[in-house]
Structure 1
Amino acid sequence: MRNRRFVLGSGAALAGAMMLARRAPAAALANAPLSADERALHALNRLGYGPCPADAAAIAAQGAGPWLERFLGEQLEPRRLPQPEGLSATLAGLEVLHLGQAELLGRYREAVKAAREARREKAGGMTPDADALNAVRDKVRPLVVQAGAARLSRALQSPAQLEEVLAEFWFNHFNVFAGKNAVGILVADYEQRAIRPHVLGRFRDMLGATARHPAMLIYLDNAQSVVAGYQPPQRARRLLDQRPELKARLPQGLNENYARELMELHTLGVDGGYTQRDVTELARMLTGWGLDSRKALVGGSGDLFAFDARKHDTGAKTWLGQVVKATGQAEGERALDVLATHPATARHLAFKFAQAFVADEPPPALVTRLADNFSATGGDLREFTRTLLRADEFWSREAYQAKFKTPYQYLLSSLRALDLPPANPQNLLAALAQAGQPLFGAATPDGYKNTAAAWRNPEALTQRVQLATTLGQRSGVSPQRLGATLGASLSEPTRRTLAAEPPAQQVALLLASPDFMKR
């Protein structure tokens, strides 16, 4: 306990220094190019989740320059990197990755039905109480935990680190909240099929995949959006006559949630030049985009997206200054085509990408080059990413350690530096929740912030010191080995400060240092 108090006290002092740590570099270094070792560590921290001992050994054996050249080439071609056997075994054992959308939604509905029946037997009512809702969560939570285990295992063990960082970025861009209805049980499928296949592919393909995925259709309510005056089929009306309490669950009319976020967050940006009327018209164009829920009800299989022409608004529409002809599902697809290639989308994505990978206030010239590349290549995200990696701004002294780690990045980089496997995913997921960034837990469509202002506060820093203490005690890693792994990312003042502290506390203090909290 005394050691823990010592680390917390010393770590708090280091964390306090973190509040003042973002200063301009010393004059002697301000314009100096990064050394080869610094470039290698910069790549590991920005294009992955930090160095592990194997990375440090490879850099030492190959030389930082040759290692970095090979690393960058491999990261842009992740399919060529063999997956570790341990990671393959872990993913193979996660049931949630091998179930289809209909099966997943079917399990959720079975849980809801069982809870409703239990409630009805208990009190004669129809609305599930807290106990019934908890019973639903208990039945679906294991699959949500498996989704988290898959993400954490890949991020920690995959050699395709850039792919993992891009999966995090694009999932956050097209955020869905696991706490809403059936989204949690579908979130693994959403990441695996709507996000991951496209992170180095075409933006339009990712945009379409997210638009049609049941997780997004449920989260932003487009599955409930129908033309005004819509009447359910006669079979459904007969059921409603028998069970009028089900009427509240039927679509009630036009829902603009998805159309608004599609333009404001996913494509054009808040300053993209659209109006409220454009939101309404786009929502009308997307009516009928929903789910074939019958597959889940009868134990079917396969994908759930379905276009229902009966729910679609066939009236005249004018969107972004264009007259839209009534062509059913093709109206929505055409809208996605327009949004994916719009200049405002290129600018919006370029800014977010540069902010996530370079600086909280990204260089305007870099944003312009990224936007130009996006437009010129038709949204080719491999070339978009390659443009970033070739940019002088990315490799500048000013960008080096200029980003502050989110709780997710801090946890992963700590585990990788200590070479600790994700032995108990539930504990790691709990740690993220406690730090304010539960995995798949951003309730609002804009996802989690990646800027220092969102995460650099005294309470959050104290939580990191506590985590550093726990991991330092658990790891058994020597401070010398950890220092060798982190290499050039540790400043000489930090090394001198830690050398004066008791050896038993040095690992925890190093993880709590301002240097380690930056990337």
Structure 2
Amino acid sequence: MKLATKLLAGLVAFAMLAGATSDNKLNDRQRALHVLNRLAFGPRPGDVDAVMKDGVGTWIEQQLHPEAIPDRTVEARIASLPTMTMSNAQIVKTYYEPVLMARKNANAEAKDGEVDKKEARREYMRDVPFDKRPQNVMNDLLTERIVRAAESDRQLNEVMVDFWMNHFNVFAGKGIDRFLLTSYERDVIRPHIWGRFEDLLMATAKSPAMLFYLDNARSVAAPENRPMLAQRFGRRAMEMNPQLKNRQGGLNENYAREIMELHTLGVDGGYTQKDVTELARVLTGWTITNERDGGQGAAFIFRPMLHDSGSKTVLGIRFPAGGGIAEGERMIHVLAHHPSTAQHIALQLCQRLVADDPPPALVDRVAAKFLATDGDLRETLRTVISSPEFWDPKSYRAKVKSPFEYAISAVRAVNAQVTDATPIARALQQIGEPLYGAQPPTGYSDKADVWINTGALMNRLNFALSLASNKLPGVHGDVVALIPAKEAADASHSVEALAQALTGGNLTQETRATIKSRIVERKAPTEDPWDNTQLPTVAGLILGSPEFQRQ
């Protein structure tokens, strides 16, 4: 605990001083490290030299076009995961329907008073074949995300997937969404992150995962604004029939609020509560399929009978009575091209890639590029990366890694092969960022103050020591291979060599002294204070150091 506290103090101090360098510009090695830490999940052994050899500009241009980067080994690994090639309908039928059946049977038994409902459900689930168990869906998805981030050569693509999955957050713990997230990431997010923002926004708006998560799937118009339902069943029948009455439901504003506050305009984007309510009315009828449609929650569907057909006004745009799905599609277009959206997206990108509090002038330029290119996400991103602010020495190692960035960068730093991603997924829960586990629609924060605390640092340090010592089953690296044998023969030289290999030589004298004192403490007074069996401990301490936790 003393060691963790000491390192935490170093991290807090480092956070306050980060970027405060007097150098006018980064040297070539620093530039290579900078892009590998910001535009990738950290360097693997040899990556810095490779980027310097080819040129930082060449590497960036290649990463901006991931479709041209071969990634056959990773793609083959992902294709071997059974659910990765399954559609929503197939996943729901194979993995979700057994859950529904178990729930139905358990409820029936519990109703008869024979057994406890939870125990009955567990009993039914035990009879489900192993390859049809619902947890397989999330296990495959976690493996896919971790393996791509750790091993793919399309590193900027994976950084942007992480960014946009967080921007358009969906919580796996809500009902059917754990069965819909595979398609959400594969078919909604990944294909659109290098295109136009409007296309990405529309894809999320029509995604079953998003519609269920933010409750738009059950948002329906008030009865007086649903003439099609009255025409079909008759107004008196609707009033008298309890089932029809239950169908009436009510307006839900969750998605309308979040699409403006989080996905597009931002908190101060110029909309009112009245706009939220009116947009919610516009989006009534945007829902998901049910059993009668051939797939519970498997696809988007617009139901005119549930749509509010009255007149509406959103952000000053008037929709006359009698409209349908085109109203929502027009509002998606309007929101995607709104100047406030440009500012909001620019700010989010600059916070992720430049600084927690990016210069307003940079945000303005990025927003202008967003508007000038019709929301072209590749060109908007290029503007961030090519900016003087991105390359300013004050931005170098000026951000604290999120838990996901930290864990994956550590795996890459020791060149570990991931044959089982479960220990990494479990570690991410412990250090505060379970994948697909952000319950609020805000997703996870991109600011340092959220991640810096004693408990989090201790968990990071424990993860680092386990990783470096090969104590994570299915995650194997070789820290001894990271440095020359002659360096490994001496305590001081080994610390310096591993510091160079893992951080680019960026350890402070205080951190070096802390690590060296730890080596001496572990040995009895009569023993030789050093042998290379301590290399994993040294590597783990460096991976847990304040310097490694910055990017």
TM-score normalised by structure 1 residue count: 0.89
Does the CA-based 8 Å contact 1:469-1:508 persist in structure 2? yes
Q: Residue type matched to 2:62 in 1? A: E
Does the CA-based 8 Å contact 1:176-1:445 persist in structure 2? yes
Q: Is residue 96 of structure 2 the alignment partner of residue 99 of structure 1? A: no
Does the CA-based 8 Å contact 1:15-1:512 persist in structure 2? no
Does the CA-based 8 Å contact 2:106-2:118 persist in structure 1? no
Alignment CA distance shift 1:126-1:221 (3 Å): farther
Aligned-partner SS, 1:159: coil
Does the CA-based 8 Å contact 2:19-2:398 persist in structure 1? no
Q: Is residue 175 of structure 2 the alignment partner of residue 181 of structure 1? A: yes
Does the CA-based 8 Å contact 2:266-2:344 persist in structure 1? yes
1:146-175 Cα deviation digits (max 9, x unpaired):
111111111111111000000000110000
Q: Is residue 145 of structure 2 the alignment partner of residue 151 of structure 1? A: yes
Q: Find the partner of 1:493 among 498, 509, 515.
A: 509
Q: Which shifted more, 457-466 or 222-231?
A: 222-231
Name which one, 1 or 2, has greater alpha-carbon Rg. 2
Q: Which shifted more, 157-166 or 303-312?
A: 303-312
How big is the shift at 1:130? 3.6
Does the CA-based 8 Å contact 1:166-1:199 persist in structure 2? yes
Superposed, 1:352-367 pairs within 5 Å as: 352-367=348-363
Q: Find the partner of 1:45 among 37, 40, 47.
A: 37
Q: Residue type matched to 2:258 in 1? A: E
Q: Find the partner of 1:259 among 256, 259, 267.
A: 256
Equivalent position of 1:5 in the other structure: none
Q: Which shifted more, 338-347 or 116-125?
A: 116-125
How big is the shift at 1:433? 1.0
1:204-241 Cα deviation digits (max 9, x unpaired):
0110000001000100011101111266977xxx9xx9
Structure showing greater relative contact order (alpha-carbon pairs closer than 8 Å, 6 or more residues apart): 1
Equivalent position of 1:477 in the other structure: 479
Does the CA-based 8 Å contact 2:15-2:400 persist in structure 1? no
1:93-144 Cα deviation digits (max 9, x unpaired):
1122211122223331341122221331244279994446667799322101
Residues in 2 aligned to 1:83 and 1:337: alpha-carbon distance in whole angstroms = 34
Equivalent position of 1:10 in the other structure: 3
Does the CA-based 8 Å contact 1:153-1:422 persist in structure 2? yes
Q: Residue type matched to 2:479 in 1? A: V
Q: Is residue 81 of structure 2 the alignment partner of residue 90 of structure 1? A: no
How big is the shift at 1:452? 0.5
Residues in 1 aligned to 2:286 and 2:19: alpha-carbon distance in whole angstroms = 56
Superposed, 1:333-412 pairs within 5 Å as: 333-412=329-408
Aligned-partner SS, 1:365: helix
Equivalent position of 2:491 in the other structure: none
Alignment CA distance shift 1:164-1:454 (3 Å): same
Alignment CA distance shift 1:174-1:477 (3 Å): same
Q: Residue type matched to 2:139 in 1? A: V
Aligned-partner SS, 2:220: coil
Aligned-partner SS, 1:306: strand
Equivalent position of 1:413 in the other structure: 409
Q: Is residue 424 of structure 2 the alignment partner of residue 431 of structure 1? A: no
Q: Is residue 201 of structure 2 the alignment partner of residue 207 of structure 1? A: yes
Aligned-partner SS, 1:21: helix
Alignment CA distance shift 1:347-1:40 (3 Å): same
Aligned-partner SS, 1:50: coil
Equivalent position of 2:493 in the other structure: none
Residues in 2 aligned to 1:415 and 1:142: alpha-carbon distance in whole angstroms = 24
Residues in 1 aligned to 2:352 and 2:362: alpha-carbon distance in whole angstroms = 13
Q: Find the partner of 1:113 among 76, 87, 101.
A: 101
Does the CA-based 8 Å contact 2:88-2:179 persist in structure 1? no
Equivalent position of 1:290 in the other structure: 287
Q: Which shifted more, 212-221 or 12-21?
A: 12-21
Aligned-partner SS, 2:191: helix
Aligned-partner SS, 1:53: coil
Equivalent position of 1:35 in the other structure: 27
Q: Find the partner of 1:447 among 434, 443, 449.
A: 443
How big is the shift at 1:495? 7.5
Aligned-partner SS, 1:373: helix
Aligned-partner SS, 1:372: helix
Alignment CA distance shift 1:216-1:12 (3 Å): same
Equivalent position of 2:317 in the other structure: 322
Equivalent position of 1:3 in the other structure: none
Residues in 2 aligned to 1:179 and 1:489: alpha-carbon distance in whole angstroms = 41
Residues in 2 aligned to 1:485 and 1:373: alpha-carbon distance in whole angstroms = 38
Q: Which shifted more, 119-128 or 273-282?
A: 119-128
Q: Residue type matched to 2:441 in 1? A: P
Does the CA-based 8 Å contact 2:216-2:287 persist in structure 1? yes
Residues in 2 aligned to 1:419 and 1:251: alpha-carbon distance in whole angstroms = 57
1:71-99 Cα deviation digits (max 9, x unpaired):
101100001100142x1222111122211
Aligned-partner SS, 2:287: strand
Equivalent position of 1:20 in the other structure: 13
Residues in 2 aligned to 1:108 and 1:150: alpha-carbon distance in whole angstroms = 20
Alignment CA distance shift 1:26-1:485 (3 Å): closer
Equivalent position of 2:64 in the other structure: 76
Equivalent position of 2:302 in the other structure: 307
Aligned-partner SS, 1:265: helix
Alignment CA distance shift 1:288-1:298 (3 Å): closer
Alignment CA distance shift 1:146-1:272 (3 Å): same
Q: Residue type matched to 2:189 in 1? A: I
Residues in 1 aligned to 2:125 and 2:271: alpha-carbon distance in whole angstroms = 40
Residues in 2 aligned to 1:25 and 1:463: alpha-carbon distance in whole angstroms = 23
Q: Residue type matched to 2:313 in 1? A: T
Equivalent position of 1:197 in the other structure: 191
Aligned-partner SS, 1:379: coil
Does the CA-based 8 Å contact 2:289-2:295 persist in structure 1? no
Equivalent position of 1:512 in the other structure: 544
How big is the shift at 1:484? 4.3
**Consecutive unaligned residues in structure 1, runs of 5 or more:** 1-7
Does the CA-based 8 Å contact 2:37-2:43 persist in structure 1? yes
Over the residues paired in the alignment, what is the CA RMSD in angstroms? 2.8
Does the CA-based 8 Å contact 1:112-1:136 persist in structure 2? no
Aligned-partner SS, 1:415: helix
Does the CA-based 8 Å contact 2:172-2:437 persist in structure 1? yes
Q: Which shifted more, 476-485 or 256-265?
A: 476-485
Residues in 1 aligned to 2:366 and 2:254: alpha-carbon distance in whole angstroms = 29
Residues in 2 aligned to 1:57 and 1:197: alpha-carbon distance in whole angstroms = 31
Aligned-partner SS, 1:398: helix
Residues in 2 aligned to 1:452 and 1:26: alpha-carbon distance in whole angstroms = 14
1:302-353 Cα deviation digits (max 9, x unpaired):
9611111111111011111121134300000000000000000011111111
1:235-274 Cα deviation digits (max 9, x unpaired):
xxx9xx99x8x99985611111100001010000110111
Does the CA-based 8 Å contact 1:24-1:30 persist in structure 2? no
Aligned residue pairs, count: 497
Over the matched positions of the two proteins, sequence identity in percent amounts to 40
Equivalent position of 2:473 in the other structure: none
Q: Which shifted more, 91-100 or 434-443?
A: 91-100
Aligned-partner SS, 1:378: coil
